[in-house]
Amino acid sequence: MDDATFDNLAPSQVVSTLAGTEHTLANEVPLAITLNGVNHAVMMVSPYQLEAFMIGFLLTEGIIQHHRDIHDLEFTRQKNAIIANATLANRCHQPWQEQRRNLSGRTGCGLCGIESLQAALPNLPPLPISPLPSTEALMGLRAQLPDWQKLNRNCGALHAAFFADKQGQIQHASEDVGRHNALDKLLGWRHRQPSQPEGMILVTSRCSIELILKMVRTYNPTLITLSAPTTLAVEQARHYQLNLIHLPYQQQPRIYAAAACKQLE
């Protein structure tokens, strides 16, 4: 089901303006998520890479620990929406029921609907210390982005997340109307790889606390953003030993958090 689209629910569509000109616009659809027969959330997503999204979303929500905790996953179309029915392992069901969140679909704030401060700022174990990428690897990332943002080239309205190896060569990209969704898709893809070589994750959006927590929950040690992070994101990145780097346009990388506490090589 991964990378599949749903007929006219494709990630982008050509739409005519009132003046008669045609433009390609990003598409977003409601994705209703049901876990073990219980409605969990409705997310607004770009309708592709949905299996990767579900894996990443459930991992970063702390509902599953491994993609094998999803025993069955089925997508069905209902008018202009998609229903995702996931069957989870029994060991995941009870903890999830105890910490259920009242989420509403969103493409913006990733903490909307959280019922408690503890859920918003969970106490997670810190990441193992990981070295920073080299300056050369970082500075070569921006030039690669257009070739990987295939959907955004058509409409210019999608966020993206990328995985690059230690040498700074991008290996995979995910796009979505929501920045959290794009990262979840990428993390879901990465989690399913037979081997997980060392590397770094780059996002085209600003960095807030939700993205930090997603990285920590999935044990990914280096996050690079094209926009500056928030103060809370920096604080939490340092707390969890996550390498957090801002990559400004035509400027040197800015290190806001470095687990190894050393300068770029």
In order of 58, 67, 102, 198, 227, the CA distances from 62 in angstroms are 6, 12, 15, 23, 26
Are 215 and 201 spatial neighbours (Cβ–Cβ below 8 Å)? yes
Long-range contacts of 225-230 (CB under 8 A, 24+ apart): 226/142, 226/202, 228/254, 229/256, 230/206
Task: Report residue 252 as tokens.
Answer: 């040197």
Angle between helices 50-60 and 209-217 (to 10 degrees): 90
Q: Is 238 helix (H, G, I), strand (E, B) or coil?
A: helix
> Residue 32 forms beta bridges with which residues?
42, 83
Residue pair 104/233 in contact (Cβ under 8 Å)? The answer is no
The strand pair at 243-246 and 199-203 is best described as unpaired
The catalytically annotated residue of 92, 109, 207, 261 is: 109
Neighbouring C-alpha atoms within 13 Å toward the C-beta of 114 = 13
- What single letter denotes the amino acid at residue 215? M
Q: Are 4 and 56 in contact (CB under 8 A)?
A: no
- Reply yes or no on whether 112 is catalytic: no
The residues annotated with a catalytic role in the active site are 109
